[in-house]
Structure 1
Amino acid sequence: MTEKVKGPASYFPSIEKKYGQPMTHWFDLVKSRSGDKHMEIVSFLKTEHALGHGHANAIVAFVLNGGAK
């Protein structure tokens, strides 16, 4: 039986579908802003890449918590 994905990763299929980019694209953008604070990166994704707040927040939380190597 497959476990249901929880937490920020549960947003990833809809992020890929809605914005047309693989998650690695978004992870790399977040990593490129390594000196910025969480909400600064969320704001960057929202203003520069038109992501919704929830999607941007999920990506940033995932990366900053070590989820994307």
Structure 2
Amino acid sequence: MEPTEKSKGPASYFPSIEKKYGQPVEHWFGVLREAGQLKHMELVGLLKSEHGLGHGHANALVAYHLAQQ
């Protein structure tokens, strides 16, 4: 992606996720991969309850993760 190109969809949350939680988004994708075959909201719940992410950030990560499968 070009530096001047604006991210859209779930990826638009990635810079703020990295800034707020201090981990690259790839870290969170690793957490999601390790969680296995859970449903969307189960994965969102895992990120929220076990890792302290907010709903919007968790939802964006899960949506992007599942779209890549």
Identity of matched residues, %: 64
Query: Gaps spanning 5+ residues in structure 1: where?
Result: none
Larger helix fraction of residues: 2
Unaligned runs of 5+ in 2: none
Aligned length: 67
User: What TM-score comes out, normalization by structure 1 length?
Assistant: 0.90
RMSD: 1.5
Partner of 1:25: 27
Is it true that 1:36 corresponds to 2:53 in the alignment? no
> How big is the shift at 1:34?
2.5
Give 1:1-69 correspondences, 5 Å limit.
2-66=4-68
Q: Deviations over 1:5-62 (max 9, x none)?
A: 1000000000000000111100011111221000000000000000000000000000
